Amino acid sequence: MATLPTFFKTIPGVQSQPRERDRRAAVSRPVRLEADPYLLRTLPNEDVFFFSKRIDNSRVAREADPRARRQCWRAIGAACVFAALLTSVLAPGVLRILAGYQVQALKQEHQRLLDERSMLEVEEARLLSPARLEELARRQKLGAPARDQIIHLEPRHDGSLALNLKSR
């Protein structure tokens, strides 16, 4: 919008400076008395130049903001609260997964113990078989006891063999 007034505004009697290109063209061409209908007019604000100055702020020290420290601690506190909430939300799921791993480990250990128990039962049955016991007795020269070597204990009814209870 700043260029429109200068674009439409024409001051009578004041002519703008001719461009360098127009001056060179006027020198090389013969002078005409009538205006050239194909000559372009100058652009609005064409003669305005912007100068850029390099600014060195290396020696300028930034002043400390008194509110910046408080804002920093608030951000740290908010991050800690957010982390605590996130942990409390995710902790049950993680614990459920860990419990599932423990259950699977216990199932595997149970199966291993069942296998070991069945192997021990087979080993016990093999060791306690009558044929093996007879073989061990033959090796150690053990025989059947004679009739007079056997003593049968028959308990008396006086409570001497039973649990000793104090009389009332």
Q: What's the rounded Cα separation, in Å, for the pair 114 and 120?
A: 10
pTM equals 0.39
Question: Which residues, including other chains, have CB under 8 Å from residue 155's CB and lie 6 or more apart?
Answer: 161, 162
Give the closest residue to 10 by CA, choosing from 32, 33, 42, 50.
42
Q: pLDDT tens digits for 84-141?
A: 999 999 999 999 999 999 999 999 999 999 999 999 999 999 999 999 999 999 899 8
Q: pLDDT tens digits for 37-93?
A: 888 888 888 888 888 889 998 889 888 888 999 999 999 999 999 999 999 999 999
